[in-house]
């Protein structure tokens, strides 16, 4: 099983998403963030579940889609995956936004 590590910025992304949605519905905000977290946890058993991020040509940077969000992650090695960002699909993803 692979260890999933959430970077500080990816945790901040989830908090921002929650804070935005909670303005309309606390229930939906909780459901949305939980779905993204559960989707990312699926990587523990299947690290290659996602697709290569189209904006990059790096095979170690992949993404999962959950609803309207992109969960962008890096396969660090056989034992660890880092969740890099959680982005709304309507937002433009630039290389300098991924570390």
Per-residue tens of pLDDT for the chain, all 99 residues:
899 999 999 999 999 999 999 999 999 999 999 999 999 999 999 988 999 998 888 899 999 999 999 999 999 998 999 999 999 988 878 776 776
97 vs 99: CA distance, rounded Å? 7
Ranges of each domain in the chain: 3-91
pLDDT of 62: 95
Q: What is the DSSP string of 41-67?
A: HGGGT-TT-SEE-TT---TTEEEEEET
Q: Residue 41: how many CB atoms within 10 A of its CB?
A: 11
Q: What is the DSSP string of the chain?
A: -PEEEE-HHHHHHHHHHHHHHHTT-HHHHHHHHHHHHHHHHGGGT-TT-SEE-TT---TTEEEEEETTEEEEEEEEETTEEEEEEEEETTSPP-GGG--
3-91: CATH architecture: 2-Layer Sandwich (3.30)
pTM: 0.91
């Amino acid at each position: 099983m692979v260890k999933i590590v959430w970077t500080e910025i990816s945790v901040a992304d989830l908090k921002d998403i929650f804070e935005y949605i909670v303005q309309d519905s606390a229930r939906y905000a909780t459901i949305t963030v939980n779905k993204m977290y559960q989707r990312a946890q699926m990587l523990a058993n299947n690290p290659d579940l996602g697709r290569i991020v189209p904006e990059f040509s790096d095979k170690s940077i992949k993404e999962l889609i959950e609803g309207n969000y992109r969960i962008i992650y890096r396969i660090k090695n056989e034992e660890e995956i880092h969740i890099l960002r959680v982005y709304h699909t309507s937002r433009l993803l630039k290389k300098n936004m991924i570390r």
